[in-house]
Amino acid sequence: MKQDDTVIVYVAYLKFWKCVPDGIKKQVNLLEKDVAICYKFFSENKTMDQIGKEEKCTRQRISIRKNRAIQRVMKAFELWGFSWDLNKRILIGPAGTIYQFV
């Protein structure tokens, strides 16, 4: 997955996560500490090294946690009936509604 793809998933998380049904949230088990890594990486524009120092983790561990969060967010939306077309930078809703991320 390319860096741009992970940004799209993170933006979808920020916009729509509060709407995801609780049962699906529990099913994917998204960890808040993993989301915090994404926040620091995408919203605060911190490097892996900066985050590693704050979290007292290696770059590899930070990368694993960030990727785990992204994968679980993607899975939650898929379980909710959405589909992703990351090449076109869109999230497609169950009723066919298209959400474009520029």
Look up residue 43 and give its two tokens: 């919203």
Q: Is 12 exposed, middle or buried (0-12, 13-18, 19+ CB in 10 A)?
A: buried
For residue 76, what are its two tokens? Answer: 């939650």
Q: What is the CATH number of the domain that holds 61?
A: 1.10.10
* Phi-psi region at 92: left, alpha or beta (left = phi > 0; alpha = psi -120 to 50): beta
Closest residue by Cα to residue 77 from 20, 5, 15, 11: 20
Range of the domain at 64: 3-100
pLDDT tens-digit map of 9-45: 999 999 999 999 999 999 999 999 999 999 999 999 9
pLDDT digits (tens, 9 = 90+) for 36-78: 999 999 999 999 999 999 999 999 999 999 999 999 999 999 9
Domain count, the chain: 1
